[in-house]
Chain A
Amino acid sequence: MQEGRPLSPTEINRDLLRSILDTPRWFWPVVGILATIVLAAAITIGIMINSGLGITGLNRPVVWGFFITNFVFWIGISHAGVMLSAILRLAKAEWRRPATRAAEVLTIFSLITALSMPIIHTGRPWRAIYWFFPYDFARGIWPNVRTPLVWDPSAIFTYLTSSTLFVLIALIPDFAVLRDHTTGLTHRIYSLLAMGWEGNPRQWKMQILSGVLLSALILPVFVSVHSIVSWDFGMAVAAKTWHSSIFAPYFVVGAVHSGVSAVVFVLIILRYIYGWQAYIRHEHVDALGRLLIVVATGWFYFFVMEVIFGIYGREADEIAVRELQFFIWPISGWTLVFVITTYFIPVALWLTKAARRNLWIMSLACISVNIGMWLERYIIIVPGLMNRGVFTFTWNDYVPRFPEMIIIAATFAFVSMLLLLFSRVFPLVPLYDIKEGEFLRTEVKIGRRVVPATFRED
């Protein structure tokens, strides 16, 4: 980290613990508004359970709609954590430091949200457990391990457990800082969480090794999760047009694209609301913007390949779905919006340094990506089921209704609320990582120039 002024450990503690030790005035009203939206969704879910899924726009043949779209979307967002934290940690990228924890925490909360979506979608959530929990609840029926719908919870459970432990392990040294800065009951809670951490060389060595080792172990899980989510479609017999071998890498890259964009947006918001200008700097957003150009272009390549391979065989089902996606209103309109917002607008902006260093432009570009990526999942799921097949009596449209809309809106409120509550009790920027970055700020003289000791390309 070469931009910005050097920071002392005291300053770092004061600034990064501000969100915990001094609650801003806006905090509880904002949490209250978000909680109200979540409560409204909870009531809607209750009504939906009581009345049945008939109050949603779901029908035959469109049995998967907004809920499953939103499930895939949040799984995608959850990929930001490992992408930023693990890959950049293993690559020893200096600029990862302020972004890692926010990314990892976003992973956890988006995974919880994602997991709730198919459970809500079942209409009878309490029965969902029979399908994937390996226990003979009744009548000798065990989960069918041959279906991706059972692989999926196993992958998500592994990813959620791993990500949560990853965050908790990295939080131990920061719990010790909080232990030393609090009194009374709060002090006792943080003392318990810090587990007697002293900060001796052995503990730090384990902490550093844990970052590397857990990153290396979580990376394959990260790839598997969205691959398996894509197999919910790719290996399903229901919709012929979903059978695509490119789905797994296409979904993984798409997830990274939307996830990293979401992290950039969250970082910008955190910088603004907690005044972390000295920590989340323009250079970090700039670096993430450059990374996103590569990810977005990789994603676009897979998108084009998926369409080309789909239509090349000229199979009737495939052609029918592509017609729906590209030529039949209103889905064709959504497809156009999706391609423009996911790739053309943001990448055009990210190509210029001025735009990458303008936080407003970066925020809008990242929101644009996520609008597009949400639509991408909708465009894959719904037209695949609306497929105009041979028999016209199987044709049906999908129009989402109010219950779906309020529940979808509430998922965004839910994740935002959890992030805010997390920032109230735990540091969202890792203190020790920032302090370590300060040691590496040292400059060395090479010939006639004094250059940063930490290599950074520009």
Chain B
Amino acid sequence: MAKRPILGLFNDANAAADAGDGLKSAGVSEKDYDFLTDAPYPEGAFGEREEKHRLYIYPFVGAVLGLTSALLLTTMSQMAYPLVTGGKPIISLPPMAVISYEGTMLGAILFTVLGIIFESRLPNLKKGLYDTRITEGYIGVLVNAEETQHDRVADVLNQAGAVDVKRQS
């Protein structure tokens, strides 16, 4: 049977953390529930699972691509218009360093931004269960559970002190 979302709303961080503990005790997998907040709570505040990511790879990939593009651009520009200045070689390395540096940084930053968006799993086009009170300071505990388990999950959320429990209609 397909899993459907159920959302518990809490106005207290301790109660939301208790709900997380309750869900764990009830046998709900850590992967099946999430805490939705309007601000970054300290990591592990709700006893949530540790999020794995590969964000640190992105800037390196971007930097390498940026550097390569900048080197190609500067080398090819100089070769395309071979202007001898002061008897120096056509491909003059010192000035290339500046543009290469900027290219490297630009590549690193662009890829970091792409990485942040991708690792945040954005854009999230699927319209899930949500409540606008979350951006008013409420904490949402979003549980994905089989419909047969919904009543049990709702009980756990209510027992922890949820002010509202919503199910997808």
Q: A residues near B, CB below 8 A? A: 8-10, 13, 134, 136, 140-147, 150-151, 154-155, 157-158, 161-162, 165, 169, 172-173, 176-177, 180-181, 195-210, 213-214, 217-218, 220-221, 224, 228, 431-432, 435-436, 438-439
Min distance, Cβ A86 to any Cβ of chain B, angstroms? 12
When distances are taken between beta carbons in the complex, the residues of chain A under 8 Å from B132 are 180-181
Given contacts A142-B77, A145-B96, A224-B102, A210 and B112 within 8 Å (CB-CB): yes
Please report the C-alpha to C-alpha distance between residue A134 and residue B95 in the assembled complex, in whole angstroms.
15
Decide if B37 is an interface residue (CB 8 Å cutoff): yes
4 closest A-B pairs by CB: A196-B124, A9-B137, A435-B39, A195-B123
25 A-B pairs with C-beta separation under 8 A:
A9-B39, A13-B135, A13-B136, A134-B73, A145-B92, A146-B92, A146-B95, A147-B95, A154-B103, A172-B120, A181-B132, A196-B125, A198-B128, A199-B37, A199-B39, A199-B140, A201-B34, A204-B40, A206-B120, A214-B109, A217-B105, A221-B102, A224-B98, A432-B38, A435-B137
Residue of B nearest to A205 (CB): B51
Distance in angstroms between the alpha carbons of A436 and B134 in the assembled complex: 14
Known: A154-B102, A161-B110. Is A203-B135 also a contact (CB below 8 A)?
no
Tell me which residues across on chain A come within 8 A of B134, comparing CB atoms. Answer: 180, 198-199
Asked whether A196 and B122 contact (CB < 8 A) given A145-B74, A214-B113, the answer is: yes
Distance between A78 CB and nearest chain B CB, rounded to angstroms:
15
Q: Add 4 more A-B contacts to A165-B110, A432-B39 (CB < 8 A).
A: A154-B99, A196-B122, A217-B109, A228-B98
Q: Is the CB of A204 within 8 A of B109?
A: no
- The 8 A CB mask of B67-104 against A (1 = contact, 0 = none) is 00000011001101101010000001001101101110
Given the contacts A204-B40, A205-B51, A209-B116, A165 and B85 also touching, CB distance less than 8 Å:
no
Check A150–B124 contact: CB distance below 8 A: no
- Report the Cα distance A439→B42, complex, angstroms: 9
**A-contact 0/1 string along B127-163, CB 8 Å cutoff:** 1101010111100101000000000000000000000
> Chain B residue with minimal CB distance to A197?
B122
Contact present for B122 and A221 (CB under 8 Å): no
Decide: B36 and A200 in contact? CB cutoff 8 A.
yes
